[in-house]
Amino acid sequence: MADKPVLWITRKLSDATEARAARDYDVRLNPEDRVFAPDELVAKSSEVDAILPCHSELFNADVAAKMSDRVKIIANHSVGVDHCDLKALKAKGVVVTNTPDVLSDATAEIALLLMLAAARRAGEGDRLVRAGNWNSWSPSFMVGTQMTGKRLGIVGMGRVGRAFAKMVQGFGMEIHYYNRSRLSPEQENAAIYHATVEDLLPNCQFISLHCPATPETMNLMNAARLSLLPDGAVLVNTARGALVDEAALIDALRSGKLAAAGLDVFQVEPGGNPELSKLENVFMLPHIGSATRETRDAMGFRALDNLDAFFSGKEPRDRLV
């Protein structure tokens, strides 16, 4: 046991992940599944050789500077790494990895769920029936927006964006996209490329966000960009809450500029935005885009694969710094 690297898994992961970790590492678990504050991350760092965290743990520049030199690798149980200051961790000599590929389909499924639910007023209808208030019907009752044959814009045509584009093909949607670079014709699959977000938005009766949160994409969907969408558009976000100016989103939803929104992520997590909760034309989920049994196992195993490679002297497959 003493010869095994000491690994700290900061949150409760899948049983299969924790069993494999316990087999191969001197593992420290968190059965209570509590969130650790930055000062606790620093204190714990002197006891371990590796950390397997989630996006709930904040490794900012201050934490990175104060961490023990004993920690050699942070193997994230996530694709997004906006909770990690990569520059500061690199300066500290800490390797950082993530878990791409394995959660693309699950997250794309949630985007499809959000888009359908927002467009067809599913949340509003569910609340009406549950409350026992469904007492009438007419052709004008709960009329929503149809997806079939509409124009869909995708911001960020990476793994998740492409998986989502593939899923919506059965709806006969015309797909437009913005990406930092244009895809190959094979990956593009007849989608229409736009060189800027501003050029993309006027074409989008539906818009789905699939790009990472970076300083450049902070409040990407602000009042100015929301105004470029056609009236009655539907916005979906399964990426990161930081991409959307929530005050501007609320204004657009109240004014009717947007017919609806489907959100799995928020600027404040956990908790969300109480002002959004007051609106009937928002369908919300608590950041569960990758929350399937299959995907949680795959994410945990991918993080452990990166750790295994590192401690055997090989290059981790998903190394970021």
- How far is 105 from 202, CA to CA, in rounded Å? 27
11, 77, 162, 287: the active-site residue: 287
Report yes or no: 103 and 163 within 8 Å, Cβ to Cβ.
Answer: no
Annotated catalytic residue, options 40, 47, 198, 269: 269
Look at the block and give the residue holding tokens 């709930």. Answer: 56
Any catalytic annotation for residue 180? no
| String of DSSP letters for 206-221 | EEEE-----TTTTT-B
User: Exactly one of 162, 176, 210, 240 is catalytic; which is it?
Assistant: 240
Distance CA 162, CA 152 (A): 13
212 phi, psi to nearest 5 deg: -75, 160
Instruction: Give the CA distances from residue 29 to residues 90, 104, 131, 320, in Å, rounded to whole numbers and listed in that order.
Output: 26, 27, 41, 25
210 is catalytic: no
Active site residue 240: yes
Instruction: Pick the closest to residue 81 from 288, 320, 281 (CA basis).
Output: 320
How far apart are the C-alpha atoms of 273 and 279, rounded to whole Å?
Answer: 11
Q: How far apart are CA 141 and CA 143, in angstroms?
A: 6
Angstrom distance (rounded) from CA 5 to CA 264: 36
**CB under 8 Å to 24, separation ≥6 — which residues?**
4, 304, 308
Q: Are 23 and 64 in contact (CB under 8 A)?
A: no
Catalytic residues: 240, 269, 287
